[in-house]
Structure 1
Amino acid sequence: MKFQAPKGTRDFDPRSMAWRTFLVDAWRTVSIRNGFEQIDGPIFEQLDLYKVKSGEGIVNELFHFNDRGGRELAIRPEFTPTLARMVAAQANSLPKPIKWFCAANFCRAERPQRGRLREFWQWNVDILGLDSATADAECIFVAIDLFQHLGLASEHVRVKISHRETVRHILGKMGVGEEKMQAAFELLDRRDKIEPEQFTRAAGELGLDVETVDRFDQICRMKYPAGRLDLLREQIGLDDNLHDLESLDEQLRAFGIAEWCEYDLGIVRGLAYYTGTVFEMHEISGAERAVAGGGRYDRLIELFGGPPM
């Protein structure tokens, strides 16, 4: 019988293993020099841990099983729930802010596609216990530091940034009710993956008329350079409720990374737990999927029995 690697996985011969080691070493070097401490957790967790964060729908995306004691377990598809569990268990004894990173492999039971396999290695960088825009800007800075460490510059990578509350305010002004807000976020997150007619139809189902749908689509596709929030105000006619982006914009300039960044209100990252800043990082042509992404999730630790953080 002839055997081969399971679908959606890959083997690492000496040459490809050298590349993987080089990249993981770069993750570790950049993390440590920016003051982050390395952590890790088990490769499987209780299935309920992932349901707490993502709901029942996540089960179909996991490799899960019952152990000999009948306990429902799942191979980790990401690190955030493990991080939250670890922090919640010892939150009162940890010095703040908490700056942790993890470089590990994960598995998802989904259809393999270009740039997205069932088994993959991922770098996670998290700051907890700091509620200002400084934490958001620092996480973005660390990713940019990695790009620079690898020899890339701002003409190679673009950081696309938005803020959930700013987008929520704009959508509300356009007539999207609060009960349909999450559906609107999910539509924004999928806008480049569906046909224009499907986007228009879905936007109409949110209660938007044809003219507003066109305006909605236009706002989604506008880009505004960091440091020029005046352009955003002028082009979308929004004079208020930009204080969240103003705080972040100030920090991006203070960290010296504004030239890498632009505001793209179509970036919302559809996951419901994000509460503020969200971002994605793309190679400049936009031909490839995002190489990195993240955002603020202020209430996540509370979901796992920890204090507000």
Structure 2
Amino acid sequence: MAGLAFQALPGFRDFSPGECAVRNYLFETWRSVARRFGFSEYETPILEDTALYLKKSGGELSSQLFRFEDQGGRDVTLRPEVTASLARLAAQHQRDFPKPLKWFEIGQCFRYEKPQKGRGREFHQFNVDILGEAGPVADAELISLAIETMLAFGFVEGDFVVRVSDREAWVAFARQHGVAEELIPDFLNVVDKIEREKPEALEAKLQSFGLTTGLVKGFIADPANASAAYNAIKDDLTARGLGAYLELDLSIVRGLAYYTGVVFEVFDSKKSMRAVAGGGRYDTLVSTISDGGVDLPATGFAMGDYVIRNLIEETTHANMQMQAWLQRQGAACDVYVVVADETKRGNALKLVTDLRRAGVSVDFPLIAGNVGKLFKRAEQSRARFALVVGNEYPQLKLKILSARSEESGDADSAVEWITGRLLEPDGPLLV
């Protein structure tokens, strides 16, 4: 914009009050579902020792780090993902908690990649993990949580699907077809990009492992190649009434090298954008991070704010639910006090203080103003009520802004009167 010396860096975002309200909707939904599933919230720093991410990440991650030397000469990185930090934290403190650990975090991550739809260089992630349980029951619990999160956002069956695979099936395939053990991670990276790779490039890469596109795609297409873990997860989710959301898709591998078993991704059914969420089992990461000091099997997933917001906005019923929440929660205050007579400002300030102490969100004009303009300001604040303090004090008028109606009351009972009215529905809010 002309005349502005500084703007947000490419891929980074400002959050104006309206944008913060949308972010809060995402955060509150994430937090609500995690708590319903019995998960506890934790938090880790956004700045970590770079070695934490180089130890066992693989794929593109190492080239996307916001990495620098701090003033103490340390090689540090703004975290690109949370799982490595969680592994470090769990290794240090796991003895203090009963197993399994069911933990979640909502926090910022940073990756130096090209900003585009559904992707920025700074983003927020919902991270949910179970540590200390090696069986597929933990994977099923996480996938169930991912599904319930989508439903909590207003999506319905047919809007999305959870595509599940198992890296162990691919490791067995690679060994069966003579892929050298040290080349298996590279082979898995090729499979991970199979849907995005041009046919001739894919064929050339697979031939370097002694394989063909037909052989690999034939393996993907055969449901008999589903692992025992996948079948156990399917049975578990079917028992929960969630089996319809599950789909076997052996093309899902995921790029991070620390994944060891079942992996999954949540996609919109039209596949119009990148995965909404993804994760899987990482049974050896805690041991790797702790140099073998702690052996803790683990599984988890992450959901980013960019893609889920895009999908909500492009899905009519989910977007309507979000807009209804924003209407209810996006108001600056519950009550706007209109000081219609400046000689009563002191009385108005006492009412403001009493109402705020009673837990009511209250705003008022800091300086004198035309009463008509003050009512307009009340409507702009999206408050439910305008409380008028005028020359009739201690008699007060309460304007119900959505209904364009009013009622009267006494200042001595104003707190009880107004807090009681806030508990009653008043129809749609102003938009």
Partner Cα distance (1:182, 1:52) in 2: 15
Which residue number corresponds to residue 39 of structure 1? Answer: 42
Contact 1:161/1:261 (<8 A) preserved: yes
Which residue number corresponds to residue 201 of structure 1? Answer: 204
Partner Cα distance (1:298, 1:22) in 2: 33
The residue type equivalent to 2:192 in the other structure is D
* Larger gyration radius, structure 1 or structure 2: 2
Q: How far apart are residue 160 of structure 1 and its match?
A: 0.3
In structure 2, relative to structure 1, the CA distance for the partners of 1:136 and 1:56 (3 Å cut) is closer
Partner Cα distance (2:26, 2:59) in 1: 34
Partner Cα distance (1:264, 1:104) in 2: 29
Contact 1:160/1:281 (<8 A) preserved: yes
Which residue number corresponds to residue 226 of structure 1? Answer: none
Determine if the alignment matches structure 1 residue 264 to structure 2 residue 264. Answer: no
Q: How far apart are residue 54 of structure 1 and its match?
A: 2.0
Partner Cα distance (1:201, 1:76) in 2: 34
- Of 229, 235, 240, the match for 1:244: 229
Determine if the alignment matches structure 1 residue 163 to structure 2 residue 166. Answer: yes
Unaligned 5+ residue runs, structure 1?
223-230
- Of 168, 172, 176, the match for 2:175: 172
- Of 31, 49, 54, the match for 2:52: 49
Which residue number corresponds to residue 228 of structure 1? Answer: none
SS of equivalent to 2:48? strand
Which residue number corresponds to residue 145 of structure 2? Answer: 142
Determine if the alignment matches structure 1 residue 294 to structure 2 residue 297. Answer: no
**Identity percentage of aligned residues:** 40
Q: Which has the higher contact order (CA 8 A, sep 6+)?
A: 1
The residue type equivalent to 2:92 in the other structure is A
Determine if the alignment matches structure 1 residue 120 to structure 2 residue 105. Answer: no
The residue type equivalent to 2:71 in the other structure is R
Contact 2:202/2:213 (<8 A) preserved: no
Alignment of 1:80-159 (within 5 A): 80-159=83-162
Alignment of 1:65-80 (within 5 A): 65-80=68-83
Contact 2:59/2:257 (<8 A) preserved: no
SS of equivalent to 1:193? coil
Q: How far apart are residue 67 of structure 1 and its match?
A: 2.0
**RMSD, matched Cα:** 1.9
Q: How far apart are residue 58 of structure 1 and its match?
A: 4.4
SS of equivalent to 2:138? helix
The residue type equivalent to 1:50 in the other structure is Y
Which residue number corresponds to residue 232 of structure 1? Answer: 223
Which residue number corresponds to residue 11 of structure 2? Answer: 8
Which residue number corresponds to residue 216 of structure 1? Answer: 216
The residue type equivalent to 2:66 in the other structure is F
SS of equivalent to 2:264? strand
- Of 262, 274, 277, the match for 2:259: 274
User: Which 10-residue stretch deviates more, 165-174 or 185-194?
Assistant: 165-174
Unaligned 5+ residue runs, structure 2?
297-431
SS of equivalent to 1:274? coil
